[in-house]
Each structure stands twice: as C-alpha cells, then as structure tokens.
Structure 1
Amino acid sequence: MIKPLLFAVATGLTLQAQATTFAYISSPADGLISQYRLDESNGALSLVQQTRAGEQVNPLAASADGSRLYAALRAKPFTVIAYRIEPGSGHLQALSQGPLAESLAYLALDRSAGYLMGASYGGDLLSLQPVETGDAAQIRTYKTGMHAHSVRTDPSNRFAYAGNLGVDQVLQYRFDAAKGSLEPIGSGQVAAPPHSGPRHLAFAPDSRFLYVVGEMSGTVSVFAIDPDSGALTPMEEVAGIPERLKLAHGEVRDARNNDLKDDPTPRIWAADIRMAPDGRLLFISERTSSSVSVFKVDPGTGRLTFLDNHAVQEKQPRNIAVSPNGQWLLVTGEKSDTVGSYAIAPDGGLRRVSEAPSGKGALWIEMVQVPQG
C-alpha cells in the first residue's frame, strides 16, 4: 500500500539569519544519502551522517527553504522518498513515500516547491506530480524524444525547460502551477547544436538566459528567454573542452551500444552545469578527463567566455554544486572515495581545500542552508 506524501511545503518560510550550509549526496551503489557540513568561512567539508535510502537512490531535489529533501530510487518499484530536514542538525527524517512514473535520471522541484518534476532517460518522458499526494493517478507524463535528461522551471516559475539528449533538442513549456501542467511553447522545442547531446540546465539569476551543457560536445549552448512567452532563441555555443585533453567527440550512451564499454577511444562525456549565485561564473564537469571547466558570464548580454579547465581529484565527476556564498565548489566522483571542496578564485581558478569520505558511486549533490532550531 502506497503511503501518502504527508506534506505541502510551508509558504512564506524564510531562512533565519543564523543558518548552517549542508550538502546531501546520493550514492546509488550503496543506497545511501550522505549529509555533509560545509563551513562557508573556509570551505572545510565534514561528513555528518549517512541515511540508508534504498537501492539505486539517485537524483535528489531540495526545497529552497532548507526544509525538505526528495530522493528518487531507480530500482523497481520506482519510488520517491520525502524527508524532513531537521532545523539545526540538518538530519534527515523520513516522512513518506510515493510512486514515480518511471526510472528518473533527473528530479527537481518547481520554485514554489509544490510539484516534483522528473526526466526519464530510458522512458523518454517528463513527469509532473504534486508533492502532497502519493496517488499515481495524479502523475502527469509528457512524451519526449529519445533520452530526456533534465527538467527545471526558470527562476520566475512561469516556464519549464528540458534537455532532450538523444534528439538534440531543448523542450520548452509554460508551467501552470495552479493546474499542475506543462503546455508547449510554440512547437514545444528548439534545436540544440547537432550531435551536442543537451543534458543539464542552468539559468541566469534574472531569468533572461538559459545555459545547456552538451554531454557529447562539452560545449555550453546559450539561449535567450523571451520574458513574455518563454520562447527560446539560440545565441551561441561555447567550447569548454580544450584540445590539450585530447578527447574525441562523444557518443550517445545506452544499452544499444553497451554504453560504449567496448570503445577504447577517450571521448567527451560532460555531465553537470552550475551557475554561481551572482551569475558571473558558470561551471561544467567532464567525466573522462576528471575535470571542471569554468566560464565567465556577462550578466548584461548572457554571453560566455571560456576561462580554463581544471583537473579535479575526484575520478569521473558527475555532479558539482556551488555554495550559497559562491566561494566553494563541491565535486563528487563516481569512482572516488571522497568528495572534494574547492575554493573558487575571482578569476574562476579552483584550489582544493578539503575533502570528506563519500558513499559508493557518489553523484548527486543538493546544497541548502538549514536554519537553526
């Protein structure tokens, strides 16, 4: 019997002046969610607690107010677990669980934290469901092209966009929070550069621009967002993988080609993209070279300038996250025993300052400021 999701996130809650920054990192290989404390004064990272979530726990989504964390399990039956983040300690308290439409590669909350949004790489669909119910009948699904890989609402919460890796498209929707629905904007998609593999998304803080990392190209595609309709206009594609890494162009990875396991060629395999809180630096991770590339952002025009690519100690880095104060970058490695904390210089340089033990196969990071109890 499915347990109902017991809550709706409280509205109007603001972080108290005194808050602690915690990171929550999932590790599918051991089914854990690890909680870390980040000291934003010096970048020190420490493991606080590990919670057994379940087999193949993967994407996470945290509410902006630091009160809730949601975790998707990619083993059948596909399930989302809701946790209360305890004030002060940041410990996770399981509240409820409910069904998911499919195995999700990506999980996100809309900006009001009333709906969970998901992207299924294998199921070729997006999903949308209210957080306060565990009724499978209330899950809406939207078919996509091959390999949907991300979905997020923009900072205004009026529009939603999705990276559709297998067909080189970015999907565009109007998000209706009252109805809990997605409506296509225009044709419902805009073309990304051919054979780029649009994967994860990041927004300018003012909602004017969308940035999409290409898994196979290692580039960032920049789109202008029409403030009235939400329609995307392609602006530029900026390379993020220097020639010195000697990486060939990437290929789509799935069961049809054995995930490229028989291909000895070192290929571009970009993963995550994150914007600094002030909107002036942008970061992407690249797994084959175990590195992070940094771009300077012009907040006025939205355009990018590639700054540099930095090797990281975390092998095969999947997800990255920027601290709320913009001074620290956390990096996980699917083949690393540690999570790393890196100081971010004003010019985008990275310097490793701390580490903490990771779960097995650590990948997804959610970082929040938790108010004191």
Structure 2
Amino acid sequence: MRKIAVIAAAVASGLCLSANAATYAYVSSPGDGLISQYRLDQDNGALTLVEQIQAGDQVNPMAITPDGKVLFAALRVKPFQVLGYRIDSKTGHLTPFTQAPLAESMAYLSTDRKGRYLLAASYGADLVSVQKIAKDYQPSANVLRYKTGLHAHSIRTEPSNRFAYAGNLGTDKVLQYRLDAQTGELSPIGSGYVSVPDKTGPRHLAFSPNGKFLYVVGEMSGTVTAFSIDHTTGALTQIADANGIPARLKLAHGEVRDARNNDLKDDPTPRIWAADLRISQDGKLLLMSERTSSSVSAFAVDPSTGGLEFLDNYPVQEQQPRNIAFSPDGRWLLVTGEKSAKVGTYAVSKDGALTRVGEAASGKGALWIEILQTPDA
C-alpha cells in the first residue's frame, strides 16, 4: 500500500560522495506505520517525496547496511520483528524481502561496521541484543541477549568495529563491550561500564570520525559527555562535558520517562528532554535535539583533543524534534518532529547556526531517520 505524505531526514551513512550522486532520506512514522522515501537536493536542501510504503504498526528504529544495499526496520508491537528491504542502487526504491524475530520491542537499531551483525537496544526490556546477518542479508533467528540496567537506549560499534557501546539511561551508565568478529558475542570491558552523574540519562551516541572519541547525550541533563577510547582495550575515559541548555530556555532538570509517564502529564514543569546527537563529517560540529523547547543545540568539537564547547541553541519549527541528521556533505540538517505535520530542512553554518530553507509533509509521529547516497540514475 502506498500513500502520499510524510517526511525525510538523515543519518550520515559514510558512503562516498561524488559529483554525480542522488541522496535519499528514509523516515519511519510509527503512528501510521509508514516508511517514506524522499530525495534531497544537495544544491538547495529541497526535499521531494518519492514514495511511501506501509511497513507495519509502530515501525520505529531503522538501520542501513554499510554497503547501502539493505534497510532494516523494527516493529515495536508483538510479534517483535525486523523487516528487511532491498534498496535499488539507482532509484533508492525499497523492496521488502525478508523478516526475522527480535528479542523484544526495540528502541534502537544499528549494524556493526562490516554489516555482519544487527544490534538492538530495548528500553522496556532492559537489554541489548546481537544477531548475525547472513550473506543474503537474512538476520538470524538466533538472538544473543545481554541484560543491562534499567532502560537501555542505544548500541553502536566504533569505527574500528572491535568495540561496542550502549547508552543505559536508567542507570546513568555507558556500557562498554568487546565485539567478537567471528561470533558476534559481546564481552564486558573492565567493569563493563563507566558512570556519569545521577539523572544524566545517557541516550544516543556519536563517534568522532577518527575513532578516538565517543560523545553521549544526556536525555535528562541536556549535556554532552565526551570520552576517549583506549585504542587497545576499548575502555572509556571521560575527558569533557558541556551543557547544551541555556538558561533562557527555562527548563528544569529532566526525569526518567517510560510507558507509564512518557509525557509527564501530571507534571506541568517544563523539563529537559534531549534526544538525538549527530556529528559532522569533519568531526568539528556536534548537534543535539531537545524536545520540550523544540530546539537544537550546537557544540564545537576539537578533533585532536575531543574537547567540547557549547556554541548556541536554535529553535526549530518541528514540534518535539526526535531525530536530526546531517546531509552527507554536512550543508543541511533534516529535522523530524513527533508532533509536527512537517519535516524541515535547515542550512547549517560552520558555527552551527540553523536557517530554515524548506519543508515537506510529515507522517504521523515521524521520528527515525536514515540517509543514503547512491549513484545518480
């Protein structure tokens, strides 16, 4: 079933840029079960809807394989499963071809850097999982499960693909693992975690392009914490942090949210509710979304030391922005709002300032974003 009306945005996928290439954005909207494909004009930031497909109720996190050939999307209703779509190398068109079980309802999905394993984090079930991806891109029904503390919110491998890290929001820990390249098994590094201050709420992750540093956004604190990554062991060491919530926003400290109180309906206090974190391709600019104020904060990054400096906070028109994403060349930022009827395109200056340049219709509750660059037809 195809409709017309949704979104677009992006997750830099690391595919090579070329002068003759098409850039496609894929956005899931769990409220109407759609995955929407848009074409992004790299010259002016305009978005054009290409098509929409009916994926299923509560389609949410997605991941594109490193070779750009397959998009995986997770459904957050029983039976929990991941859907696989082949991506046409010329048009970006999605064709469903497989499905596989997931361990639980997953809030986060990624692949390792070689596309051999599918990784996921379950916020409600307090676990992360790994399952092998076969050569035909079929995820294995054999799922490795690893219990975490309360509310696991993300898992990714760093650029060398030897180590994996997870944001564990409810315990104020960042989990650290070795990834076995042959089996996909995870084993703890040292104690298995590093701690951050109480009520930080580690959520999403971003790695410096050189693989030396990890950045973690605090959902409840609105801060970004920087860690150095030991090249030999993978152990994390905190080296910096920066607050991304200026006083003018008048936000109180955040609280842990779950299915029982996600909107904090009985609490009228405007509270910090940070969400996504993205780093520019040159590793010099970090952007963080904040849902309560519908804004994006910018941080300068020192690529040599990993140091952070808060630059400013910019309002966006998309209400309750969940995911944000750079275009592959870093000139544009795409923003989805969970309570917005539009997705916005913003020009990004070197200091992180945002200027809205375009919009497109949004799906219901649109949030997850993946972006892909393919050869132009």
Q: Deviations over 1:217-272 (max 9, x none)?
A: 00001111001100000112210010000000000002454652211110000000
Q: Which one of 22, 34, 37 corresponds to residue 36 of structure 2? A: 34
After the TM superposition, which residues 59-78 of structure 1 pair with which residues of structure 2 at under 5 Å, given as runs?
59-78=61-80
Give aligned-pair identity as a percent.
66
Q: Distance in 2 between matches of 1:239 and 1:164?
A: 19
2:364 corresponding residue in structure 1: 360
Q: Distance in 1 between matches of 2:139 and 2:301?
A: 41
TM-score by length of 1: 0.94
Asked which structure has the greater RCO (Cα within 8 Å, sep 6+), the reply is 2
Q: Distance in 2 between matches of 1:159 and 1:72?
A: 23
Q: Which one of 158, 171, 193 corresponds to residue 167 of structure 1? A: 171
- Are 2:303 and 1:299 aligned? yes
2:248 corresponding residue in structure 1: 244
TM-score by length of 2: 0.93
The unaligned stretches of length 5 or more in structure 2 are 1-14
Contact 2:21 2:373 survives alignment (8 Å): yes
Distance apart, 1:92 and its partner CA: 0.4
- 2:311 alignment partner AA: L
Contact 2:118 2:139 survives alignment (8 Å): no
Q: Distance in 2 between matches of 1:325 and 1:38?
A: 12
2:8 corresponding residue in structure 1: none
Alignment root-mean-square deviation, CA: 1.4
Tell me: CA distance 1:82–1:173, structure 2 relative to 1, closer, same or farther (3 Å). same
2:7 corresponding residue in structure 1: none
- Are 2:24 and 1:22 aligned? yes
The unaligned stretches of length 5 or more in structure 1 are 1-12
Q: Distance in 2 between matches of 1:323 and 1:258?
A: 30
Q: Deviations over 1:110-142 (max 9, x none)?
A: 000111100000000001001224543x21000
- Could you list the structure 1 runs, at least 4 aligned residues long, displaced by more than 6 angstroms after superposition: 13-17
Contact 1:64 1:368 survives alignment (8 Å): no
1:330 corresponding residue in structure 2: 334
Q: Distance in 1 between matches of 2:256 and 2:353?
A: 31
Distance apart, 1:180 and its partner CA: 1.2
Tell me: CA distance 1:35–1:234, structure 2 relative to 1, closer, same or farther (3 Å). same
Contact 1:129 1:180 survives alignment (8 Å): yes
- 1:219 alignment partner AA: T
Contact 2:131 2:140 survives alignment (8 Å): no
Contact 1:15 1:65 survives alignment (8 Å): no
Q: Deviations over 1:162-220 (max 9, x none)?
A: 00000000000011121111111001111022210000000000110000000000000
Distance apart, 1:66 and its partner CA: 2.1
Q: Distance in 2 between matches of 1:308 and 1:65?
A: 35
Tell me: CA distance 1:255–1:364, structure 2 relative to 1, closer, same or farther (3 Å). closer
Q: Give the total of aligned pairs.
A: 360
